[in-house]
A and B are shown apart, each in its own frame.
Chain A
Amino acid sequence: MPRETLDRQLHHLQDEVLLLGSMVEQATLNAIDALKNQDVKFARRIYDQDLTINEKRYAIENAILVLIATQQPMAHDLRILAAILEVITELERMGDYAKGIAKVCMRLGEAPINMPIREFSRMAELGVSMLHRALSAFVAENPQQAYAIPAEDDLVDDLFNRVYRGLVASMIADPETIDRANLLLWVAHNLERLADRVTNICERTVFIATGELLELDTTDDEDTEG
């Protein structure tokens, strides 16, 4: 093969994306665990570990620039690199969502509170499962798998709506809970956004295979996280 070096480096970058993805998955599930157990120490650790996610993202980005500059990738090779640049940005933002949940956990402290933890856990599981399969499809360059995933976002959206209504009802019933309920809304929001961003990864999988940038998202919600 005349392009063994390039092939090896492309392969390595795909592996790095999987590694970054697994870090994000773990951070998300850990953040929900910390929240469930109101484990502030654990939350602090998750919060700090977001730095390693960011560092990995920048390392991958740098490696891509070097590869473009030194290997002059074309066509399919170039699309893989362009797609990875996009996907690592999505993953880093997902990492920020996990960090945000950890921060909420730290602010809530250890005093016992009611929270829709069952819904949160379910949203995290669904989101992480979508992410997991989206990244598998991404490195396998399997657009059929990628097409199927975004529709699952509806389940996450339903859970978000249920949590939202519950928290708003609790604020109305007992205004003293407004601060805490507001923080918990952020948890729900972050989990909902995580699932939304999985769609963007699926779009890049289709792009690698076909060269076309298609919108796979079925909803029209906007990115409003602060």
Chain B
Amino acid sequence: MITKEPLTNMITEDKTSTHSPRINLKFVREGMGEEDIQKTMVKVDNLSVYYGKFRALTDINIEVKAKKITALIGPSGCGKSTLLRCFNRMNDLIQNVKIEGKITVDDLDIYAPDVDVVEVRRKIGMVFQRPNPFPKSIYDNVAFGPRLYGVNKRSKLDEIVQQSLMQAALWDEVKDKLKQSAYALSGGQQQRLCIARALAVEPEIILMDEPASALDPIATLKIEELMRELAVHYTIIVVTHNMQQAARVSDFTAFLTMNPDRSGMMVEYGLTSQIFTNPRDKRTEDYITGRFG
């Protein structure tokens, strides 16, 4: 009955040694169950995007949940940023772009002919990879949007500026120098200023395109913490190349990759806790374990 071959015979390799005398780890993970899935904020139906003759995205379908963070991940060129820019019609600014399919935000078809694009972009703010404050004071950066939308009363603007900066976790650092140039701030502070600027027009959705990739690790973690705080009130969609960041910060993850014709497609979309522990699709598995892309 006893198998004669010793277990040690099955050892095929023993050259490396894993080592480390001591380690102190603190694992923090907020679990999320199926019951947390709630209202759909953005619904994408069969979205395809063309730049001229090149098809950049093919048949994307996704339901972005309200007041959650959704991460879009995938290899370079898979169309993550293109998809993100569709959500507030930023692609309209590119020549020869053609969009098929439908995107509804809070039941509004944002590509319907009678839609006010300015209103769409107010409702859906955006934060870019590199902090891009205006060459103005900290105050004027945040007040810029509200002024554009007709808020001129000083006391009202003061209130909006303070509230936005507080929400962006920047108020304490800048409250005594609101008149100084935004360029005097550090990269991380500038990025939080851009977030405050986006918040000042009271959006419902915040799009973030690699919001921390130009920042150092501490500034990155501050942005991530801020995103978690903002997700209490806002729907956030973030494009990131940093998979650990997607795992740390998001509730849902969508994995996109390229078709053989190099157009982007969505492979898998689900709870971040599931995507990063037990993805359904081999291509997702290969990408997140670092074996492809």
Residues of A within 8 A of B6 (CB): 22
* List of A residues within 8 angstroms of B7 by Cβ: 18-19, 21-22, 25, 132, 135-136
A45 at the interface (CB under 8 A from B): no
- A2 interfacial by beta-carbon distance below 8 Å: yes
User: A71's closest neighbor in chain B, by CB?
Assistant: B290
Stretch at the interface among B10-18, B54-62, B126-134, B161-169: B10-18
Q: Is the pair B289, A66 in contact by a Cβ cutoff of 8 Å?
A: no
Distance in Å from the Cβ of B283 to the closest Cβ of chain A?
A: 12
Residue B155, interface by CB 8 Å? no
B277 touches A79 (CB 8 A): yes
Contact residues in A for B11 (Cβ distance below 8 Å): 15, 18-19
Asked if B279 is at the interface of the complex by the 8 Å CB criterion, the answer is: yes
Q: A12-B13, A15-B11, A75-B278 are in contact. Are A62 and B20 (CB under 8 A)?
A: yes
- Chain A residues lying within 8 Å of B50, measured Cβ to Cβ, are none
Q: Does B18 lie within 8 Å of A12, measured CB to CB?
A: yes
Given contacts A1-B291, A3-B290, contact A74 B14 (CB under 8 A): no
Contact A128 B23 (CB under 8 A): no
**Alpha-carbon distance A9/B10, docked complex (angstroms):** 16
Residues of B within 8 A of A66 (CB): 18-20, 23
Asked whether B277 lies within 8 Å of A62 as measured between CB atoms, the reply is: no
A12 is contacted by which of B8, B14, B243, B285 (Cβ under 8 Å)?
A: B14
* Complexed CA–CA distance, A139 and B285 (Å): 19
Q: 1/0 contact trace for A160-197 toward B, CB 8 Å?
A: 00000000000000000000000000000000000000
Residue numbers in A under 8 Å from B23 (CB-CB): 62, 65-66, 69
CB-CB contacts below 8 Å: B12-36 with A: 12-20, 23, 25
**CA distance in complex: A65, B247 (Å):** 18
CB neighbors of B among A1-47 (8 A):
1-3, 6, 8-9, 11-13, 15, 18-19, 21-22, 25, 29
A174 to B288, CA, bound (A): 66
Those of B214-260 within 8 Å (CB) of chain A: 243-244, 247
Cβ-defined contact, A76 with B285, below 8 A: yes
Instruction: List, in ascending order, chain B residues with CB within 8 A of A76's CB.
Output: 285, 289
**Alpha-carbon distance between A72 and B277 when the two chains are bound, in angstroms:** 12
State how many angstroms separate the Cβ of B169 from the closest Cβ of chain A: 26
- CB of A67 closer than 8 Å to a CB of B: yes
Contacts of B247 in A (CB 8 A): 74
Whether, in the assembled complex, B276 has its beta carbon less than 8 Å from a beta carbon of chain A, the answer is yes
- Say yes or no for A77: interface residue by CB 8 A criterion: yes
A22-B6, A125-B1, A211-B277 are known contacts. Are A75 and B18 too (CB-CB below 8 A)? no
Q: Which residues of B contact A78 (CB under 8 A)?
A: 276-277
Given contacts A63-B18, A65-B23, contact A6 B290 (CB under 8 A): yes
Given B25, B244, B279, B291, which contacts A3 in the complex, CB threshold below 8 Å? B291
Set A15, A72, A136: member contacting B244, Cβ < 8 A: A72
- Hey, which chain B residues are within 8 Å of A129, CB to CB? 1-3
Residue in A1, A8, A139 whose CB lies within 8 Å of B10: A139
Q: Separation in Å of the B273 CB from the closest CB of chain A?
A: 11
Q: Which of A130-151 contact B (CB under 8 A)?
A: 132-133, 135-136, 139
**Is A115 positioned at the interface, with any CB of B under 8 Å from its CB?**
no
Contact with A along B88-123 (1 / 0, CB 8 A): 000000000000000000000000000000000000
Q: Given known contacts A126-B1, A129-B1, is B25 in contact with A69 (CB within 8 Å)?
A: yes
Residues of B within 8 A of A3 (CB): 289-291
What is the CA–CA distance of A89 and B13 in the complex, to the nearest angstrom?
23
Taking CB atoms, residues of chain B closer than 8 Å to A22 are: 6-8
User: In chain B, what residue has the closest Cβ to A25?
Assistant: B7
A159 contacts the other chain (CB 8 A):
no
What would be 25 A-B contacts, judged by CB atoms less than 8 Å apart?
A: A1-B291, A3-B291, A6-B290, A8-B16, A12-B13, A15-B13, A19-B7, A19-B8, A19-B11, A22-B8, A62-B20, A62-B23, A63-B19, A65-B25, A69-B25, A72-B244, A74-B276, A74-B289, A75-B276, A76-B285, A76-B289, A128-B2, A129-B2, A132-B2, A136-B10
Chain B residues within CB distance 8 Å of chain A? 1-3, 6-8, 10-20, 23, 25, 243-244, 247, 276-279, 284-285, 288-291
